[in-house]
Structure 1
Amino acid sequence: MSNFKELGVTNVFVKSLKEIGVKVPTEIQKLTIPVLLNSDIDLVGLAQTGTGKTAAFGLPILQKIDPSSSNIQALILAPTRELVQQIKKQLFKFTKYSDDKIFVEAVFGGEKIDRQIKALKRTTHVVVATPGRLIDLIERGEIDIKNIKTLVLDEADEMLSMGFKQDLNRILKYTNGKRNTWLFSATMPEEIKKIIKTYMSADAKRIEVNKNSLVNENITHLYIKTSISEKLNLLIKLLENRQRERGIIFCRTKAGTQKVAKLLKEEGFSAEALEGDMQQKERDKVMRAFKNKSLQVLISTDVSARGIDVHNLSFVIHHQLPENNEYYTHRSGRTARAGKTGVSIALILPNEVSKIKELQKELGISFKEINA
C-alpha cells in the first residue's frame, strides 16, 4: 500500500497530511493504521523514535473519536513535556480539515496546574499527558479516565527508565478493563514485558519494524580510539569539520556536560548544555535556540535528552559510551529521523573496543573504525 487513503485514512485527514508534507506512509504506519482502524485490539509496537509513530496511533485515535460525546475517549502517555507538546501539536495539525471539532488537551509538569484544570473543564476528547502530572489531576478529581476507549503508552521503555513505573501501574489501574492499550517501545526490557503481561490481552497484536536492526538503518556507526587527555581536542576537530551541521554530544554525567559545554564555548562554538537541574524555562530557551538553528550543538546526558525530537540533525557524538547498551539506541536515534541519514561517532578508550563488539552483537549493527 502506497498511500494513506489505501490504509483506510479518511479524506479530511489525508488532506491535512498532504498539507504538512506527509504523503507516503512509513513502515510502522503501513503496518499499524489498517489494523487499528478495523479492529478493537491491544497492540505492541516495537519501533524507534522518529519512525512516524505519532501518525500510526494518532490517525486511528482521531478517526474513532465520537465528537458528539464530551467524554475523554483516548489517553496518550509520553515520558516528557516536549514529547507531549509535540504529539498534541501533530494531532491538532491532523484535524485541520475535520468537520467535527475534536478537542485535544496536553497536561504535563512545569506549567501551572490551575491552567490545565481550567482547560480540562472544556470538552476534551483526547488527553496527552506525562504520568506524574496526570496522577496529580486524577487525585484532585479534575480528570476522569475511567471511560477511555484507547490508552497509548508511547516510548514506554523511556517512561520506565525515567522512574515512572509506579505511576504507570496506578494509571493503568484507574482505567477500566474495557479499553484497548497500544504500547510503543524502542526496546523490550523485562519491565515492559511485565506491563504487557499484566495489563494487556494475551492475544495483543505485535508489530516490529526493522526486526533485524533495533537501530535505525540510515545511521552510519563509527568509532575513534583516543585517550582521556586527547578527547577534547578530538571533539573540537570533529566539530570544526562539521561547522554547517547540527548535532548532539552525549556525556554520562551532568558535570561532564557542563565541562564540555564550557570548553566548547571558550573555543568559539555555538554550544549549550542540557541537564537535569535546569529550570524548565531555561531548558525551553535552549531547546528553542536549538530548534530554530541559532544553536549548533547540544551537550546532554541520557536523561536530559529524553523526548528531544529535532529534525535534520546530522550527527550524534558519544563523548563517552552509555552505561546501558539500550541507551545507545536512544542516543543514536536522535539523528537520521524521518528518512534522513546521519552519523553516530563514539570516542572510545583502547580498553572499550570490547564494548563496541558487544553493541554490534546486541543491536545488530556494524561499526567502522576511523581516524580523526
Structure 2
Amino acid sequence: MTAIQGESGLVIATVYGGTDIEKQASKLSDGVDVIVGTPGRVMDMTKRKFIDLSSPKIFCLDEADRMLDMGFFPDITWVIERMTGRQQTLLFSATFPQEILDAAYEFMNDPEFVLTNSEELDIPPIDMYSINIGRANKLWALSRILSNANDEDQIIVFCNTKRMVDLSVQKLSKAGLEVNGLHGDLSQNQRERILQSYKDGQIKTIIATDVAARGIDVDGITYVVNYDIPDDMDSFIHRIGRTGRIGRAGQAWSLVAKNDAGQFARIIATYGLEISSTDVPELPSGIDKDTIAYKDDFMESADVFGFVPLQLNSDNAITASSQALSKWLTSKIGCDELAIGEIQHLPDKIIVNIHSSKVSLALKAFEKHDFNGKKITAQV
C-alpha cells in the first residue's frame, strides 16, 4: 500500500486481527481515505462503531478465489450489504471458479470481466528438477535438499495444507533444521514478523501454503520446493516464479509421489516445461548422517488394495505349491493368511503379493530362513 500511496497524500489505514484494536480505531478517528483490512476485523470494528460502512464509495476484494477457499464469503457479504454508499466494486482473482462468477453477478450490476491469457504466465529461466519419492520419505528428501543449500540461499517450500506446513516445521525443527511456517492461521503480527525477518535475510527457509506465500515479495529466493504438487496448475507456475528473478540463478524442486504423478504430468504438458527427473541429492561433503532418517516405504509399489509384489529368486528352481509357500510365510512372520495375496509361478521366479504392512517382515524371513532347504532371495 505504501507503493500505491506514493506522493499522493492519501491516508491509508490497515485493520487486522492480532493487534491492538484501540490503536487502529484511533488512527481511523483522525480520518482516512483508504481502509485495508481483513473481513473479520472490519466486521468487528463496524459493530463497535469505529467504521461506518455507509461512507466508502469503492469496495475492492483482492484474492477473491482464496477468500472463497478460506470460507470468508459470509463475512464479505455482511460487509458489502452494509456499504450502502458503494458506487464501484472490484474483484481480483487469480482463477475464476463458478463461485466467483456467481459472486460477481450477486455483488455487481452488469459486471465486466477483464481476463489475462494464461499464456502470459511468466516461466522463469531456472533449473527444474523432480524426484519420484514416496510420501513417507518426502521429508527425508526435503532435508537433503535443505542440507545442500548454501548459507546465503533463501528457500521457500510449498505445502498444500496448513496441517502439512505445521507437521513439516515440527519434524524438521525437531531434527535441528531452522525453518519457519507461514499460513493463514497465524496472526497478522506473526506473519509480518516472519515475512520481515525473511526479507531481511534473518530467516533462510519458509514453509508455506499458497495463500500465505502471496505476501512474500523477495527477489533473492534461490530455491523453491514443491513438497506437495498443487491441484491448481497455475499455482505451480506462480510458485516457481518466485525464484530466478531479475536474471538471478534459481532452482525449483518437485517431490512427486505416486498419487502426484498424473497431475504433475498434466502441468508439464500444459506449459511445456523441461524438468529433469533426478535422484535425491547426496549428503554434502563433511556430513555423514541424515537429519531425517530414510524409511522403508512400500506403499509406492502397492496396488489399490495395498498389496506389494515380492519377487522370489533362487539358484535352483523353487518347487513349492502356493499353499505351502503361503503357509510358510504366515508361520514365519506371524500374520493372517489374508495378508498373503496372489502367488504367481513364473518360469524363472515366483511373485508373491503381500500386504505392505508385512513386506519388511517377509524380507527378513527370507533373509534369515531357508525354504525347503533352499536359500531364496526376495526383493520388491
Q: What TM-score does the superposition give when structure 1 sets the normalisation length?
A: 0.63
* Aligned AA (1:235): L
Structure 1: any 5+ residue segments left out of the alignment?
A: 1-86
* Aligned AA (2:143): I
Is 1:128 matched with 2:128?
no
| Residues 305 and 142 of structure 1, relative CA distance in 2, 3 Å threshold | same
Within 5 A, what are the aligned runs for 1:52-63? none
The superposition leaves residues 222-276 of structure 1 with CA deviations (integer Å, 9 ceiling, x where unpaired) of: 4221233543342233234432321211234555434433554466543223355
Q: Which residue of 1 aligns with 2:144?
A: 237
Cα distance in 2, alignment partners of residues 116 and 153 from structure 1: 20
Q: Which residue of 1 aligns with 2:108?
A: 200
The superposition leaves residues 108-150 of structure 1 with CA deviations (integer Å, 9 ceiling, x where unpaired) of: 1111211111111112111111111111122222212324332
Cα distance in 1, alignment partners of residues 118 and 210 from structure 2: 24
Structure 2: any 5+ residue segments left out of the alignment?
A: 280-380
* Aligned AA (2:130): Y
* Aligned AA (1:91): I
| Residues 190 and 124 of structure 1, relative CA distance in 2, 3 Å threshold | same
Quick check: 1:214–1:329 contact (8 Å CA) kept in 2?
Answer: no
Cα distance in 2, alignment partners of residues 288 and 269 from structure 1: 20
SS in 2 for 1:168: helix
Quick check: 1:356–1:367 contact (8 Å CA) kept in 2?
Answer: no
* Aligned AA (2:220): N
Q: Which residue of 1 aligns with 2:278?
A: 371
| Residues 125 and 253 of structure 1, relative CA distance in 2, 3 Å threshold | closer
SS in 2 for 1:307: coil
Is 1:154 matched with 2:62?
yes
Cα distance in 1, alignment partners of residues 240 and 147 from structure 2: 21
| Residues 183 and 279 of structure 1, relative CA distance in 2, 3 Å threshold | closer
| Residues 305 and 195 of structure 1, relative CA distance in 2, 3 Å threshold | same
Query: Aligned match of 1:114 in 9, 14, 22?
Result: 22
Is 1:176 matched with 2:84?
yes
Cα distance in 2, alignment partners of residues 167 and 106 from structure 1: 17
* Aligned AA (2:146): L
Cα distance in 2, alignment partners of residues 172 and 327 from structure 1: 29
Cα distance in 2, alignment partners of residues 159 and 338 from structure 1: 30
Within 5 A, what are the aligned runs for 1:289-308? 289-302=197-210, 304-305=212-213, 307-308=215-216
SS in 2 for 1:185: coil
Quick check: 2:57–2:85 contact (8 Å CA) kept in 1?
Answer: no
Q: Which residue of 1 aligns with 2:256?
A: 348
Q: What TM-score does the superposition give when structure 2 sets the normalisation length?
A: 0.62
* Aligned AA (1:298): I
How many residues in Structure 1 have an aligned counterpart in Structure 2? Answer: 277
Is 1:223 matched with 2:135?
no
Quick check: 2:65–2:100 contact (8 Å CA) kept in 1?
Answer: yes
Q: Which residue of 2 aligns with 1:315?
A: 223
| Residues 256 and 240 of structure 1, relative CA distance in 2, 3 Å threshold | same
Quick check: 1:91–1:104 contact (8 Å CA) kept in 2?
Answer: no
| Residues 205 and 254 of structure 1, relative CA distance in 2, 3 Å threshold | closer
* Aligned AA (1:216): D
| Residues 371 and 135 of structure 1, relative CA distance in 2, 3 Å threshold | same
Cα distance in 1, alignment partners of residues 123 and 224 from structure 2: 15
SS in 2 for 1:316: strand
* Aligned AA (2:201): K
Cα distance in 2, alignment partners of residues 175 and 301 from structure 1: 32
Q: Which residue of 1 aligns with 2:93?
A: 185
Aligned-pair CA distance for 1:345: 2.4
- The percent of aligned pairs where both chains have the same amino acid is 29
SS in 2 for 1:152: strand
Quick check: 2:124–2:240 contact (8 Å CA) kept in 1?
Answer: no
Cα distance in 1, alignment partners of residues 172 and 276 from structure 2: 25
| Residues 124 and 295 of structure 1, relative CA distance in 2, 3 Å threshold | same
Quick check: 2:231–2:263 contact (8 Å CA) kept in 1?
Answer: no
The superposition leaves residues 79-108 of structure 1 with CA deviations (integer Å, 9 ceiling, x where unpaired) of: xxxxxxxx2x3334x12xx4xx42111111
| Residues 198 and 335 of structure 1, relative CA distance in 2, 3 Å threshold | farther
Quick check: 1:212–1:364 contact (8 Å CA) kept in 2?
Answer: no
Is 1:357 matched with 2:268?
no
**Coordinate RMSD, CA, aligned:** 3.2
